Structure 1
Amino acid sequence: MADTAATRGSFLRADAGTSTAAPTARWWQALGDPVLDQVIETALTSAPDVQAANARIAQARAGLEANKTALLPTASVSFAVPYVNLPGSILGNSGREEFHAYAPGFDTSWEIDLFGGTRRKIEAASARAEAAQAGLADARVTLSAEIARAYVSLRAKQAVLALTDRQAAIDSDLVSLARQRLAGGTAPEQPLAQARAQLAQTEADRAKTRADIVVLIDQIAVLAGREPGALDALLSAPNAVPLPPADVAVGDPALLLRNRPDIRMAERQLAAANADVGARVADKYPKISFTGLLGTGGQNFADVFKTSSLIGLALPQIKWSLFDGGRVNAQIRSAKGAYAEAEAQFRGTVLKALQDAENSLTRFGGQRIAYGKALDSQAQAARAHALQVQRVQGGTASRSDALTAERQAVQAEMAAISARAELTTDFVAVEKALGLGWAAQAMEEAPK
C-alpha cells in the first residue's frame, strides 16, 4: 500500500496549477502576508498545544533514560547502628547482654541482559520518544493550519463588512426612493415594505459580521497562546484576503509519506509495539544477576575501621520462572495483539494521509475554477451597473434601477471575496495534508 503510493511520480488529483517540486515547510510565507507570518511563527513556540507536546517529549526522554540505566550495575551504601538485647537462654547463662552494633556496608548488583529483554525495552522507549517528537511536529502542522484558516476567514469577514456598509447605504437610499414614490402616488406600499425588509436584513448581517470578526480575532489570539483581546491592535485593521501562488509545489506521494508527522508517529508506535513483543519473549528465559556486599561491623565504633572485621559476600544468581500459570505466555500474546493493533493503525494512517492529499488537491483545483467564475461574475455585475448608470444619465432608467444594479454588483463582489477566501482555505488544507508547517529541526532533535 505505502510502497505502491511511493512509486507514483505524482498525485492522482493534482491539476495543472501544481508541480512535483518539493514544497516549502513554512508554506504560509507563500501567501505574502507579514501579519500572518508573525502570528504563526510566534504560535509555533508559545502555543499551549506545542508546549504540551514538548512536555510529552520530556516525559518520553526521561523514560528512555530510566530504561537505559537497567543495563548498568546499581550500588548503595548503608550504615546501621542496631541495639542488641540478648537473653541468657541464648547465651547459655542466667544474665543478659546488651550492646550497640556498628555495621556500615556497601552493596552492588548487576543483572546481565543475556537474552536482550532490557535492550528491547530500551528500543521500545526510544521509539516512543521519537513518536512524541513526531507528535510535536503534528501539533505544529495542525496549529499553523488552524491559525491560517481563522486568519483567512477574518480577512474575508472584514472585507465583507466594508461591502455590507456600502450595501446598507444603498438599501437606505432604496427605502427613501420607495417612500418618495409612495408619497407621490406613483407606487404602492409593497415596494417600500420590501425595501425596508431588505435594509433590516442587511443591518442584521452587518451586526453578525462584526461579532464574527471579534470572535475570529480572539480565536487567533488563543491559538497563538495569548489571551482574548491581546491581538486586537495587530488584527483589527482590515487587510486583503491572502491569495495562494499561481503554481503550488506539492511534491509526490513518496515525499508525503516522509513528511507527514502522523505517519512518522504511527510508524514509531509500531516499532515500539514490536520491541514490546521482544521484551515479553525475553521473560521466558533465565535472568542472571550478581550481588556483592562489602562491609565491616563490631560492638564498638572503632571496630568499623579494623580489617579484621571486614565482611564480604559475592552471590551469583539465576532466576528462571519454570511455572507461572501461563502468565508470561499471556503477556506475549497481549503484546502481539498490541503490535497487530499498531500495524493496523499505521496502515490506516497512511491511507488517510493519501486520501487527505488527494481530496484536498481535488477541492483546491475545483475552487480555482470557481474563483475564476466568481471574478467573471463580479466583472459582469460591475459592467451592468455602469451601463445602468449611463441609462439613468440618458433618462432611460430610474435611479432605483441604478441602485438595484449597484446592489447586485456589491453582492457579486462579496461572492468573489468568499470564493477567494475559500480558495486560500483549500490551499491551507493542501499544505496541511502534505504534512507541512513544522520546523525541520523538530525531527532532528529526536532522542539519541
Structure 2
Amino acid sequence: MRAMRHLMLLPLTLALAACAVGPDYRAPALPEPAALVRAEAGLVTPEAVEHDFWRSFDYALLSELVEEAFDANHDLRIALARHDRSLALLRQSRRDLAPSVTAQGGAAHQRASADQMPQATRSQRDVERYDAGVAALWELDFFGRVRRSVEAQQAEAEASAADVRAMQVVVVGELVDQYVRLRGLQEQLRVARANADNQRESLALVDARLEAGRGTDFDSVRARAQLESTLSRIPALEGEIAAIIHRLAVLTGREPGALIARLEAPAALPALHEKVAIGLPGELLRRRPDIAAAERRLHAATASIGVATADLYPRFTLSGLLGTQAASTGDLFGRDSETRLLALGVDWSFLDSGRVRARMAAADADAEVNLARYEQTVLQALEEAETALARYAQALREREHLVDAAEASAEAARQARVRFEVGVIDFLEVIDAERSLLEAEDSLARSHTRSATALVGLYRALAGGWPQRA
C-alpha cells in the first residue's frame, strides 16, 4: 500500500515540473512603412481616422440604417454565433486541465442458472446488487498536450472575435457604398428626366416651326428620336435603383421591399472630403481585423504542433473511485459496503511513432500555410490602402474636369437653342448640344458617385472609425 502511495506521488511531482513540448509562439513583426506611397500631402492628414465616418456624409437615414445593420444583419449574426461557439469550445478545453468528476449508481437483479449454482435453491440463485459512487479522471499534463490544446483554442477564439470586427467592416462598408450608389443613380435619373423635359420643349418648338412652314419633317423626326433615346435611359436607371433598395433592405436584415418607402425619395450626393484623416502608416496594419485574425490563426496552428508532438510521449492518467456496494438497499451506506479505487494509467504510442510523426508533419504544414496566409493578408492590406488612396485622388481630379465640362455644355445648349430660334444654325446643332449636355451631366453624376464610393473604399481599407461591437 505504501509503495502504491509513493507511485501516486511520482506523477504529481512530475506535473509540477512539467513542460510543454512544441514550439513557443512568437508573433511575426509587422512592417512599419514610413509612409504610404499614394498618400498625397494635399489629400490626407496624419490625424486619427474619423470615428463613424458615415456620419460626415450628413445622412440621418444612413446612420439609422447602419445601426439597424449592426443589430440585424445576418452575416454579422453568423459571425457572432461562430464567436460564441469558439468561446464555448475554449471553456470546454480549459475543463481538460482539471479532473473530470462524475457520479454513478446502479441497481441490478440477476438469477443464475441451476448449472451455474447446482447446489443452490431457486431463491438462492437470485442475487441483487446496488452501488453508488463518485469517479474522477485526470490527465496529468506532463508534456503540455492539454495546455497546447487550450492555447490553440484560445487563439481561435481571439481570431473569431477579429472575424466579427472584420465582418462589421465588410457589412457597413457595403451598406454605405450601396447607399451612395443609390443617391448617385437617383441623380442620374434626375438628369435624364430634366434633359427629357428640355428635349420635349425642343420637339414642341420644332413642331411649331413645322406647322408655321419654317421647319422640316427631318428636324421633327430627329428631335423625337433624341427624346425617345433619353427616355429609354429612365427604366434602366429605375431598375438599378430598385435593386439597390432591395440590397440595402437585406443588409439590414429585412425583406427586400421593406425600405422602399424610406429610400425612394431622392437625396443629394454627399459632399466630398477635401482632406482625409488616415492616421499614421504604422497604425494601419494594427487596425486591420483581418490581419489580427490571420495572426491569431497562425498562433493556433503553432500551438497545434505541440499537441501533435505530445503524442510522442507517454500520456498519464490518474483515476479514482469512491463509492459503496451492497446486496440490499438497507446496507448500501453501511461501513462495510465502502469501495474505493485509485489507479495510475499510462498510454504510450511509441510503437506507432510513424503515425504520430505524420500528424506532426501535417501540423507543421498547417503552420506554414497560416504563416503564408498571414503575410499575404498584410501585403493585401497595404495594397488595398494604396489603391484606395490612388482611386480617390484620381476620382477627385476627374470630377473637377467634369464639373467644368457640364457647365460649358449647359451654356452651349442654351446658346444653341437661342441661335436656332433666330435662324443662325440648323436643328442638328441643337440636337448635338443637347446630347452633349446629357452626357456631361450624366458623367458628372457618375463621377461624383465614383468619388464618394472611392472615399468609402478608402475608409474600408484603412479599417478605422469602425465601432467595436463584438
**TM-score, normalised by the number of residues in structure 1:** 0.91
Match in the other structure for 1:338: 366
Contact 1:159 1:417 in 2 (8 A): yes
Contact 2:199 2:434 in 1 (8 A): no
Contact 2:219 2:428 in 1 (8 A): no
Match in the other structure for 2:36: 11
Match in the other structure for 1:49: 75
Alpha-carbon deviation of 1:170? 2.0
Hey, what's the Cα distance between the residues in 2 that align with 1:371 and 1:338?
48
Match in the other structure for 2:267: 239
Task: Determine if the alignment matches structure 1 residue 347 to structure 2 residue 372.
Answer: no
82, 85, 89: which is aligned to 1:59?
85
Task: Determine if the alignment matches structure 1 residue 40 to structure 2 residue 66.
Answer: yes
Hey, what's the Cα distance between the residues in 1 that align with 2:190 and 2:114?
104
Q: Which secondary structure state, in structure 2, belongs to the residue aligned with residue 297 of structure 1?
A: strand
Hey, what's the Cα distance between the residues in 1 that align with 2:90 and 2:206?
78
Task: Determine if the alignment matches structure 1 residue 323 to structure 2 residue 348.
Answer: no
Hey, what's the Cα distance between the residues in 1 that align with 2:420 and 2:117?
130
Match in the other structure for 1:133: 161
Hey, what's the Cα distance between the residues in 2 that align with 1:407 and 1:80?
92
Alpha-carbon deviation of 1:127? 0.9
Hey, what's the Cα distance between the residues in 2 that align with 1:65 and 1:333?
28
Q: Comparing 74-83 with 2-11, which one deviates more in the overlay?
A: 2-11
Match in the other structure for 2:97: 71
Hey, what's the Cα distance between the residues in 2 that align with 1:3 and 1:94?
77
Task: Determine if the alignment matches structure 1 residue 30 to structure 2 residue 32.
Answer: no
303, 315, 322: which is aligned to 1:287?
315
2:96 alignment partner AA: A
Hey, what's the Cα distance between the residues in 1 that align with 2:469 and 2:180?
27
Query: How is 1:23-422 mapped onto 2 (pairs within 5 angstroms)?
Result: 23-87=49-113, 93=119, 95=121, 97-182=125-210, 186-324=214-352, 326-388=354-416, 405=433, 408-422=436-450
Hey, what's the Cα distance between the residues in 2 that align with 1:13 and 1:388?
43
Q: Which secondary structure state, in structure 1, belongs to the residue aligned with residue 181 of structure 2?
A: helix
Hey, what's the Cα distance between the residues in 2 that align with 1:94 and 1:33?
94
Hey, what's the Cα distance between the residues in 2 that align with 1:118 and 1:189?
90
Contact 1:177 1:400 in 2 (8 A): no
Q: Deviations along 1:76-106, whole A, 9 cap, x unmatched?
A: 2222212232356655736452121112222
Q: Comparing 391-400 with 352-361, which one deviates more in the overlay?
A: 391-400
Alpha-carbon deviation of 1:441? 4.5
Alpha-carbon deviation of 1:72? 1.1
Hey, what's the Cα distance between the residues in 2 that align with 1:63 and 1:94?
56
Contact 1:140 1:437 in 2 (8 A): no
Closer/same/farther in 2, CA of residues 84 and 184 from structure 1, 3 Å limit? same
Hey, what's the Cα distance between the residues in 2 that align with 1:197 and 1:436?
50
Hey, what's the Cα distance between the residues in 1 that align with 2:253 and 2:74?
6
Contact 1:87 1:95 in 2 (8 A): no
Q: Which secondary structure state, in structure 2, belongs to the residue aligned with residue 101 of structure 1?
A: strand
Contact 1:273 1:335 in 2 (8 A): yes
Q: Which secondary structure state, in structure 2, belongs to the residue aligned with residue 284 of structure 1?
A: coil
**TM-score, normalised by the number of residues in structure 2:** 0.87
Q: Which secondary structure state, in structure 1, belongs to the residue aligned with residue 255 of structure 2?
A: coil
Alpha-carbon deviation of 1:382? 3.2
1:61 alignment partner AA: L
Hey, what's the Cα distance between the residues in 2 that align with 1:437 and 1:21?
12
1:138 alignment partner AA: A
Hey, what's the Cα distance between the residues in 1 that align with 2:320 and 2:368?
42
Hey, what's the Cα distance between the residues in 2 that align with 1:390 and 1:190?
20
Contact 1:141 1:438 in 2 (8 A): yes
Q: Which secondary structure state, in structure 1, belongs to the residue aligned with residue 351 of structure 2?
A: coil
Closer/same/farther in 2, CA of residues 379 and 223 from structure 1, 3 Å limit? same
Hey, what's the Cα distance between the residues in 2 that align with 1:321 and 1:206?
74
Alpha-carbon deviation of 1:187? 5.0
Q: Which secondary structure state, in structure 2, belongs to the residue aligned with residue 22 of structure 1?
A: coil
Q: Which secondary structure state, in structure 2, belongs to the residue aligned with residue 244 of structure 1?
A: coil
2:169 alignment partner AA: V
Q: Which secondary structure state, in structure 2, belongs to the residue aligned with residue 323 of structure 1?
A: helix
Q: Deviations along 1:167-194, whole A, 9 cap, x unmatched?
A: 1122223333444455566555433332
Hey, what's the Cα distance between the residues in 2 that align with 1:42 and 1:219?
14
Hey, what's the Cα distance between the residues in 2 that align with 1:124 and 1:249?
37
Closer/same/farther in 2, CA of residues 383 and 176 from structure 1, 3 Å limit? closer
Q: Comparing 181-190 with 389-398, which one deviates more in the overlay?
A: 389-398
Q: Deviations along 1:111-163, whole A, 9 cap, x unmatched?
A: 11111111111111111111111111111111111111111111111122222
Closer/same/farther in 2, CA of residues 120 and 5 from structure 1, 3 Å limit? closer
Contact 1:296 1:310 in 2 (8 A): yes
Alpha-carbon deviation of 1:427? 0.5
Over the aligned positions, Cα root-mean-square deviation in angstroms equals 2.5
